Amino acid sequence: MIINHPLLGPRDAQEFTYLGDATLIDRPDGMADAAPEAFHDYLHLRDNPAGTHRELWYHEGGDRSWLVVTRDTRTHEITRVDLARDVALQRGRGA
């Protein structure tokens, strides 16, 4: 697979390590009343779709940025790549 890095252009997927579903960006509030349940959901449960999947890849052998890759799990076709930083900022996370 070739991942089209937003800053570095097309890079071999071998340079990256895979974390999982991009919902991992949305870490629950640990101080909320329902935190244990929310963290169980966050840590363990996955949609695991057959089709379009947004997922986190880390450019370990490159610029060490986190990417959100949109990929079809049935064909491995990558349709979109964003910097995870931009996605997180859009969702009001981080600074």
Partner 1 sequence: MRYSALRVFAEALRGQRGWRPAWRDPDPQPEYDTLIIGGGGHGLATAHYLASRYGGKRIAVLEKGWIGGGNVGRNTTIVRSNYLLDGNEPFYEYSLKLWEGLEQDLNYNAMVSQRGILNLYHSDAQRDAYIRRGNAMKLHGADAELLDAGAVRAMYPRLNFDNARFPVQGGLLQRRAGTVRHDAVAWGYARAADSRGVDILQNTEVTGLQIEQGRIKGVETTRGPIRAARVGVAVAGSTSRVMSMAGMRLPIESHVLQAFVSEGLKPLIDGVVTFGAGHFYVSQSDKGGLVFGGDIDGYNSYAQRGNLPVVEDVVEGGMAIMPAIGRARLLRMWGGIMDMSMDGSPIIDRTPVEGLYLNAGWCYGGFKATPASGMAFAHLLATGEPHETATAYRLDRFRRGLPIDEKGAGAQPNLH
Residues that bind partner 1 (CB under 8 A): 1, 12-14, 17-21, 40-41, 43-50, 53, 55, 71, 73-76
Q: Positive or negative, the Cα torsion across 5, 49, 1, 57? A: positive
Pair 84, 56: CB distance under 8 Å: yes
Q: Which is nearer to partner 1, 12 or 89 (CB)?
A: 12
83 three-class SS: strand
Q: How far is the CB of 8 from partner 1 (least distance, A)?
A: 18
Q: Which is nearer to partner 1, 74 or 89 (CB)?
A: 74
Q: Which is nearer to partner 1, 52 or 89 (CB)?
A: 52
Distance from the Cα of residue 18 to its chain's centroid: 8
Q: Rounded CA gap, 95 and 91, in Å?
A: 11
Q: How far is the CB of 6 from partner 1 (least distance, A)?
A: 19
